[in-house]
Amino acid sequence: MEIKKRADGSLIWRVESSVSKNSHITVHEGCQAIEIRDGQIYDKHKPGKHKVNIAGILSKGAACDIYAVNTAHRIKLPFAAGTLNAPIEYMDKRFNALIKIRTRGEVVVTIEDPRVLLKQRNALTVSELEEDMRQELSGIARSALVEVAGESDGYVALQGATEQIGSKMAQKIKRQLDDTYGLVVEKVDIVSLDFPNAGEFTALLDEGEKERLKTIIAQEQANQAKAAADAINAFSKQTPPKEDK
C-alpha cells in the first residue's frame, strides 16, 4: 500500500485498499498515514515503510482503515472583515467620530497534526477547507481589528497599524487553528486595511476638531521623520569608515 500526494487538491482521503495480516504501508514524502481502528485513531505513520500489525484484531472482527494526509501542501486561506455594505464601525474617542473600517487578507497554513484535523473531517480538499474556514477566519480578523482599534490612539495612529493588526491576528488565528484543526500558521498577509481617507474623516468633524486634527497629523509626521533620522544616525555611527587603499 502506497501513500502519496494527489494532484486533485485532496488533503485527507481514505485509502481504498484492504488491510490484511502483516500489511505494509509505504508513505511518501509530504504525506502521513493515519491508522483508524474501530473508529478511533490508533497510530500515525510518517514518511517511510511501515508494518501494520493487525493480527491481534482480525480475529475479533475489528475494522481497520487507513487515511492519507497531505502535510506538505501550503494552504492559502482568504479572509475578509467588514464589507463595503457592512463595514466594522469603530468610535474614535479622540475625536468622538464613528469611522468605518475593513480589512482583507490571506492566511498560509500547513497541516501539523493530522490526527486533530481528522477528528473534524475524514475527507477534505483545499477548496473545502477554504470554505470551512472563511467565516471563522473573518470572525477572528474582525475581533483582532476591533481589539487593535480599541488599543490605538484613534484614527491617526490606526492608519499605520497594519503590522500590529497582522501580528494580533496571527496570534489569535494560531491559537484557534492549532487547537481545533491541527494546522500551523506560517504567515498572515494583510492585503488591504481600509479607513476613511483624510478628507472623509475630516468631514465627520466640526471646525474645532478639524484644526486639532491638522495639528495632530503634523505632529505625527514630525515624529515619524525624527524617528527615521535617528535610525539613520544610529546606523551611521555603527558603520566603520572605509580604509583608504
d(CA 103, CA 188): 12
d(CA 112, CA 46): 12
Residue of 130 and 57 predicted with greater confidence: 130
pLDDT of 242:
58
Q: For the full predicted model, state whether its pTM sits above 0.75.
A: no
The residue-averaged pLDDT of 129-133 equals: 87
Cβ pair 138, 106 in contact under 8 A: no
Tens of pLDDT, residue by residue over 96-117, are 777 888 888 888 999 988 888 8
- Cell of residue 25, nine digits: 504501508
User: Given a cut of 90, is residue 84 above it in pLDDT?
Assistant: no
d(CA 190, CA 119): 30
The residue-averaged pLDDT of 85-95 equals: 79
3-state secondary structure of 103: strand
Residue of 59 and 86 predicted with greater confidence: 86
Average pLDDT, the chain: 79
3-state secondary structure of 29: coil
pLDDT of 17:
64
Q: Over pLDDT 70: what percentage of the chain?
A: 84
The residue-averaged pLDDT of 121-149 equals: 83
pLDDT of 64:
77
The residue-averaged pLDDT of 77-95 equals: 80
Contacts of 222 (CB under 8 A, 6+ apart): none
The CATH superfamily label for domain 75-205 reads Band 7 domain (3.30.479.30)
Residue of 68 and 211 predicted with greater confidence: 68
From the CB of residue 242, how many other CB atoms can be counted at a distance below 10 Å?
6
The DSSP secondary-structure symbol of 226 reads H
User: Given a cut of 60, is residue 137 above it in pLDDT?
Assistant: yes
Tens of pLDDT, residue by residue over 1-60, are 888 888 888 999 988 666 666 678 899 999 999 888 777 888 888 999 988 766 555 455
